[in-house]
Each structure stands twice: as C-alpha cells, then as structure tokens.
Amino acid sequence: MEDKNLDDINNLDFENEIEEVSLDNENLPNNLKKELNYLKQIKNALDKTTIISKTDKNGIIIDANEAFEKISGYKKEELIGNPHNIVRHPEMPKAVFRKMWQTIQKGKIFRGIIKNRKKDGGEYYVLANIVPIKDESGEIEEYIAIRQDITKQITLQKEKEDFVNNAIFYLSNKIHSPVYIFNKYTKLIDEELQSPNPDLNKIKAYNENLKRDSMLLALTDRILKTLLEFNTKKQKINLSSFKPFSLFIMVLNRYKNIYNKKVFISVNDNIKKTVIKTDKKYLTLTFEIILNNLLKNSLKELKINFTKDEEFIKITFEYFQKELKEINFTNGFKSNKDIENNVEMYLLKRITTFLSYETEAKENRLILKIPILPPKKLIKYSNNGIT
C-alpha cells in the first residue's frame, strides 16, 4: 500500500485500505493486525445499523452508505453530488436547519430529530448527529452525519397520542350524561308505578341499575381526570401510610355488589395489619380498574391471594376469562367500548409504572406487587409536589 499523508485521511476508502493492509502486509505486528481487524468490524457494524453520509462544507453529498440508500430509496450515485436537502421533508421547520448550520460551522456537534422524505414521497425519522471533520490546522473540511432510524418509535408515539386524545374525547362526552342516566331510570320507575300492577322487583332492579351506572360513571370521571394528569405531566404524589388490605376490601365490596360475582380471598392476619407508604389515591384507582375489569369479565368467580415478603405485598388474582393483554396501539379501535376498555389498561400501566408497582398478566392470572416502602424517586416527587 502506498504511503498516505494525513491530509488524505478523510478520503480513504477504509474497507478497501484495511483489506489491502491485511493482504499485502503479512509481516505487520500482531497488535496492528488486531487494530485493523477491530476497525473493519466497527465499520461493518456501523454500515449495518447506522445511516451514514458525508458532505463537503456546502452540504453537497460526497459519500453515503448502504443504509442511507435503503431508507431513502435513492441509489448512491443519485445521492452523491446532490445537496443533502434532497431528503428534506417540507414539514421540517427551516429554523431547525438554521440552528444546525450555526452549530456545526462553529465546529460543534449538532444532535436532533429530523423528519426526512424518501424518493417515493414516504417519510422517515432519524436521530441525527452531525459532526464537523477538521484538517490538521483545525479548519472544517467536511461533515459526517451519523443517524439512527427512529421511525417506529415516532409512529408509535403518535398513535399513543391519537389514542389518548380519542379516549379523552369519548370519556368527556360520557361523563356529561348523568342527567340522561337519571332521567332514563326515573322514567322507567314512574312508568312501572303507574301501571295497573306495579312490579316491585322491576322497580328494585331499576333502582339498583341507577346506583350501578352512577358508580361506574363516577369511576369514568376519576379515570378521565387521572388520564389528563398523566397526559399533561401534572400528576401529584401524596405519600401516606395506611393498610392496603383495608383499602382493597372497601373497593372490592363496592364493585362486588355491582356484578354479583363470588370472590374468595386468601390472606393471613399479618398481611391485614401491614402498613405501606404510597399514594393512596392512585392505589385506590389501581384497585378500582383491576377489580372492575375482572369482576365485569369473569365468568363466575374471582380468587384473590395475598402474600408478602420484605419488600412487597403481592396480590394474585385468578379469574376465568380471556388473558389480559397489553394494548397494541397499531390496531386502532373500532368502537367506544374498545376505547373504554383499552384506556383502563393503558392508565393502569401508566400508574403502576409511575409508582414502581410491578404487574404481570399471564393465562388466567394477574399479579400486582406493591412496594411496602416508596422508592427514592417517589419521595423526591412527593417533596417537590409534582413530577
């Protein structure tokens, strides 16, 4: 291999040069061979996992790797010689690129999320790092852009945002219907009372349905308010000490009466007396969402087992219904019922993650693990008042 000056280093075709060194210089020291082999593996790894391109000082593309060709839809020969804005998406604010040029022309690295346009008009998102390459005297010669494809993450985030917005819209409309519910059942009760032979069992059933629907409407209201808190990052932490078993039984009795299902509880006296420290409002809603969902969908009965170790109280729910599955945001929602059921599971995941609770759903079991003492992050949030 002919000698290369440092001035020419940025023009090297590294893969070919490495091959040339390894083939033509059999007497190279072992440590240098290892370094060359390592560099070759790094280059191969980058080519397979990272979108890379080089431009001159004016932003004209002078090199592009295979990953850039693949994601943009352009061949290498179509890219080289063209301005890098050949893939710029018209929805990207010009201010982003002004800031980018101001940053890299000062010799600093620019980092940001960029939306690009493919040759066929499609779009993709990248997390871009644009690095100035300098010569021996410190003058910028060219720029290298190293990017990761984050299209899936951005798309998923948008789908989540659409889902939450649809859920908020649906739940907001639903909680404005208490007058309708009240009028519906009072009308049915009045009609029955005015009939020649009023059926007292029907009247009792109407009254029970009114209580049930009013209670579920109140739950919907709490779900909506909490969803808005998390969506706007205004959830507040109020840590307090209390017995979770007593709270659980209070919530259970409320929903057990609605659905009239058999419930079997296994617990010892030690767990009944155990005091934990967490946010009582969010734990109450956690219990409400789980119990309302399981009692509503269980076929006949619900078995609940409480256990405890040094760190957690573990509650295992055994039920007879379809397995609870994590929300798939890519499927969309076909009806209001889909939105309502999914938003409960979505919010449950947000609350339990935020409070460092652990959940696991498999087959016909749901496991909830509640820390006896709050993690440090909750103590910090509690001291600050908000997240």
Q: Specify the 3-state DSSP secondary structure of 239.
A: strand
DSSP code of residue 386? B
Domain count within the chain:
3
Which range, of 139-148, 287-296, 314-323, averages the lowest pLDDT? 314-323
Last residue of a domain, one of 149, 166, 191: 149
Min mean pLDDT across 33-37, 106-110, 232-236, 288-292 is at: 33-37
pLDDT at 74 over 80: yes
Both 361 and 260 in one domain: the answer is: yes
**Statement to judge: residues 317 and 287 lie in one domain:** yes
* CA dist., res. 318 & res. 50, Å (int): 46
Same domain for 139 and 15? no
pLDDT over 70 at 179, yes or no: no
Pair 175, 257 in one domain: yes
Query: Are 172 and 84 in a shared domain?
Result: no
Among candidate residues 116, 149, 182, the one where a domain is terminated: 149
Per-residue model confidence (pLDDT) at position 232: 83
| 286 & 350 share domain | yes
Q: Let me know: does 132 contact 143? Beta carbons within 8 Å.
A: yes
For residue 228, give the CATH number of its domain: 3.30.565.10
283 and 182 part of one domain: yes
Task: Specify whether 172 is located in the same domain as 101.
Answer: no
In this prediction, residue 293 carries a pLDDT of 87
Q: How far apart are the C-alpha atoms of 307 and 161, rounded to whole Å?
A: 37
Quick one: what percent of the chain has pLDDT higher than 90? 45
Amino acid at site 302: L
Residue 343 near residue 167 (C-beta atoms within 8 A): yes
| CA distances to 10, 11, 57, 107, 300 from 63, in Å | 11, 10, 13, 20, 66
Are both 160 and 290 inside the same structural domain?
A: yes
Which residue in this structure is represented by tokens 């593309």? 61
Shared domain check, 64 and 45? no
Q: Strand runs (DSSP E) across 221-300, as ranges?
A: 239-242, 262-266, 276-279
Tell me the three state secondary structure of residue 210.
helix
Q: Looking at residue 101, which CATH number applies to its domain?
A: 3.30.450.20
Check whether residue 61 and residue 39 sit in a common domain: no
C-alpha 25/C-alpha 332 separation (Å) is 60
Average pLDDT, the chain: 82
Q: Are residues 283 and 367 in the same domain?
A: yes
CA gyration radius for the chain?
31
Mean pLDDT, rounded, for 339-343: 68
Three-state DSSP class for 378? helix
Contact 277, 244 (CB under 8 A): no
Average pLDDT over every residue of 9-24: 44
Give the domain range for residue 139.
52-149
